[in-house]
């Protein structure tokens, strides 16, 4: 047994953690563990069941009693796999007679009902001790972790029972005509009573037990084995032994390298500088190079910017634009360029001063007079207003072009109001126009008319809702009254 070759992390663990480590080991080595285990288990079960097929109850009891024999197979595979030599199926079968023959009495009679069976199994099977020696060894190991080992045995049986009951319940669910509905509790009662079970039921139970046992038992064995290894780790300092072994190995390698460096310095240097080409594949250098060649690390990019050639040094000719690398022609044109720039600046400054003076000099009255009058007529420019607005609007309305009718009325109203001097700009909204009119002529007929018109227009054009026939025709008729022809209405 070479501790340094162990294929599992060795450190002192808490007992339950050790058990879980064992469970993990079963999964880690499942490929090596389960084929021989299933082969031996299936063969053994068939050997027992076939002669006893008339008495499945007896077969069941006998198989349960023989369990420790089968447990030796996963322990054999696991102990060898852990030290780097997992046996093949053939090797296990070859070793099988030897495995099954040893100390049958103690396994099947004396310790069959031991609650710490899987914990002590390695002592019996792997250490090969006999008599009082074995007894002393077992009692030393059991001084701690006995409780956990007991709970391991009980818990594994519980897990197995859970799986058997689950399978039985699933069958009940799938074949409901056997019983309308049988809950799990009834199943338990049936199982414990065991009186009404027919042979078919017993064989079904045997099959379910086989499956559950085949899955759980390797975990149980490896859990106990890991607990045993953990106990020995703390008893004998396995982790310390492995750590010291590695330390000594490292130091001796380092010492050797130091000697080489001391005696063969020149050749060593040459060896380091010589291979400028590709290093041999598999070496750390090659791995590092591969990593750096990965796409994720390709972050090279070209950055261009101006930078002083001699940062911090005193410049011999402190002239403007000296750092610019200009062509000879551009160098000759440099004074021209400078003069043009200067002229531009002056012109800009003059223009700025003039504009500022004009704005400040012009009073607000003057400015308003100078600015053009609000060109509300642009509203009508797109389509000139017809001479008889109400008539045209009424005909549009009766044709069903209601939006155009109201639009025409609105445009005409605004145009009249603008003509009469109401301060309206082309960008004013309906609401702004209305409020301007309300301020200018509160309570006037045209104010009420415009309010009705705007409401109808917004209902039709924006809300896309119907406007009553009477309302539309009333607006058409009311236009003439609200805006009697001509701009003589005072604002």
Partner 1 sequence: MFRGKAPLTESEVLPFDAVRRVETPEGVTLTLRVAGPLPRLYAALVDGAIRGFAYSIAAVVLSLLHDLGQGPLLLVLFLGEWAYPVLFEVFRRGVTPGKSLLGLKVVNGDGTPVNLTASMLRNLLRFADFLPFGYAAGVLSILLTDDFQRLGDLVAGTVVVHADSPRPRASRGLRVPDVPPVAPPVPLHAHEQRVIVGFAERLATWPPERARELADLASGLTGAAGQEGVTRLLGHASWLVGRRRKAGEGER
Choices 240-248, 266-274, 318-326, 443-451 (CB under 8 A): range interacting with partner 1: 240-248
> Binding to partner 1 (CB under 8 A): which residues in 252-281?
252, 254
Distance, CA of 437 to CA of 450 (rounded, Å): 9
Choices 42-50, 56-64, 241-249, 357-365 (CB under 8 A): range interacting with partner 1: 241-249
Nearest in space to 285 (alpha carbons), one of 272, 266, 295: 272
Task: Report residue 94 as tokens.
Answer: 């070859």
Residue 54: its H or E element:
none
Cβ-contact 210, 64 below 8 angstroms: no
Residues in contact with partner 1, total (CB under 8 A)? 58
Nearest in space to 123 (alpha carbons), one of 108, 109, 103, 105: 103
Distance, CA of 255 to CA of 259 (rounded, Å): 6
In sequence order, the 6+-apart residues with CB closer than 8 A to the CB of 122 are 75, 79, 224, 225, 228, 229
How many other CB atoms are found less than 10 A from the CB of residue 390?
Answer: 19
Residue closer to partner 1 (CB basis): 257 or 485 = 257
Euclidean distance between the first and final Cα of the chain, in Å?
A: 115
Q: Give me the least distance between CB of 231 and partner 1, in Å please.
A: 10
Among 45, 219, 225, 457, binds partner 1 (CB under 8 A): 219
Q: Give me the least distance between CB of 166 and partner 1, in Å please.
A: 3
Choices 36-44, 45-53, 239-247, 482-490 (CB under 8 A): range interacting with partner 1: 239-247
Nearest in space to 414 (alpha carbons), one of 463, 449, 465: 449
Q: Give me the least distance between CB of 63 and partner 1, in Å please.
A: 21
Distance, CA of 366 to CA of 69 (rounded, Å): 118
> Binding to partner 1 (CB under 8 A): which residues in 189-218?
215-216
By the rule CB under 8 A, 236 interacts with partner 1: yes
Phi/psi at 318 (5° precision): -75, 70
Among 106, 142, 187, 447, binds partner 1 (CB under 8 A): 187
Residue closer to partner 1 (CB basis): 185 or 365 = 185
Q: Give me the least distance between CB of 339 and partner 1, in Å please.
A: 60
By the rule CB under 8 A, 407 interacts with partner 1: no
Task: Report residue 418 as tokens.
Answer: 């603008």
Residue closer to partner 1 (CB basis): 170 or 485 = 170
> Binding to partner 1 (CB under 8 A): which residues in 7-66?
7-14, 16-17, 19-21, 23-25, 27-28
> Binding to partner 1 (CB under 8 A): which residues in 326-345?
none
Task: Report residue 407 as tokens.
Answer: 């639009």
> Binding to partner 1 (CB under 8 A): which residues in 132-151?
151
> Binding to partner 1 (CB under 8 A): which residues in 151-180?
151-152, 155-156, 158-159, 162-163, 165-170, 173
What secondary structure does DSSP assign to 260-320, as a single string? HHHHSHHHHHHHHHS--SPPPTTSHHHHHHHHHHSGGG-----------TTTTSPPSS--T
Residue closer to partner 1 (CB basis): 83 or 111 = 83
Among 65, 135, 244, 345, binds partner 1 (CB under 8 A): 244
How many other CB atoms are found less than 10 A from the CB of residue 474?
Answer: 14
Which residues make up the interface to partner 1 (CB under 8 A)?
A: 6-14, 16-17, 19-21, 23-25, 27-28, 151-152, 155-156, 158-159, 162-163, 165-170, 173, 184, 187, 215-216, 219, 223, 234-237, 239-241, 243-252, 254
């Amino acid at each position: 047994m070479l501790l340094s070759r162990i294929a599992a992390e060795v450190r002192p663990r808490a007992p339950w953690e050790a058990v879980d480590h064992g469970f993990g080991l079963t999964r880690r080595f499942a490929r090596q563990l389960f084929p021989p285990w299933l082969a031996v288990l299936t063969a053994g079960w068939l050997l027992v069941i076939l002669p006893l097929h008339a008495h499945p109850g007896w077969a069941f009891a006998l198989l349960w009693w023989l369990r420790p024999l089968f447990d030796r197979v996963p322990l054999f595979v696991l102990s060898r796999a852990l030290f780097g030599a997992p046996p093949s199926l053939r090797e296990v079968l070859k070793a099988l007679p030897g495995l099954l023959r040893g100390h049958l009495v103690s396994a099947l009679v004396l310790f069959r009902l031991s609650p710490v069976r899987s914990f002590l199994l390695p002592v019996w099977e792997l250490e090969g001790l006999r008599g009082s020696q074995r007894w002393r060894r077992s009692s030393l190991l059991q001084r701690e972790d006995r409780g956990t080992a007991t709970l391991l045995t009980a818990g594994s049986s519980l897990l197995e029972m859970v799986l058997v009951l689950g399978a039985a319940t699933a069958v009940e669910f799938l074949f409901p005509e056997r019983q309308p509905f049988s809950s799990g509790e009834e199943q338990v009662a049936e199982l414990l009573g065991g009186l009404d079970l027919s042979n078919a039921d017993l064989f079904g139970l045997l099959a379910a037990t086989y499956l559950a046992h085949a899955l759980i038992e390797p975990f149980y064995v490896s859990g106990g084995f890991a607990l045993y290894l953990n106990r020995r780790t703390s008893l004998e300092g396995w982790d310390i032994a492995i750590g010291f072994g590695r330390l000594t190995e490292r130091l001796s390698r380092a010492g050797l390298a130091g000697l080489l460096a001391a005696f063969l310095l020149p050749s060593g240097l040459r060896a380091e500088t010589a291979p400028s080409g590709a290093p041999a594949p598999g070496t750390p250098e090659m791995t590092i190079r591969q990593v750096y060649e990965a796409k994720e690390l390709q972050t090279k990019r070209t950055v261009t910017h101006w930078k002083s050639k001699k940062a911090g040094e005193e410049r011999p000719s402190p002239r403007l634009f000296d750092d610019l690398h200009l062509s000879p022609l551009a160098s000759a044109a440099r004074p021209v360029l400078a003069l043009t720039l200067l002229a531009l600046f002056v012109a800009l400054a003059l223009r700025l001063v003039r504009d500022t003076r004009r704005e400040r000099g012009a009073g607000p009255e003057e400015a308003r007079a100078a600015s053009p009058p609000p060109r509300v007529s642009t509203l009508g420019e797109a389509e000139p207003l017809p001479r008889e607005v109400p008539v045209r609007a009424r005909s549009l309305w009766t044709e069903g072009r209601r939006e155009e009718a109201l639009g025409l009325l609105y445009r005409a109203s605004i145009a009249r109001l603008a003509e009469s001097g109401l301060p309206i700009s082309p960008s004013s909204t309906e609401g702004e126009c209305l409020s301007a009119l309300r301020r200018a002529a509160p309570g006037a007929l045209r104010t009420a008319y415009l309010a009705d018109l705007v409401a109808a227009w917004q209902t039709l054009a924006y809300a896309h809702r119907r406007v009553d026939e009477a309302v539309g025709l009333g607006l058409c008729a009311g236009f003439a009254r609200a805006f009697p022809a001509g701009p003589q209405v005072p604002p």
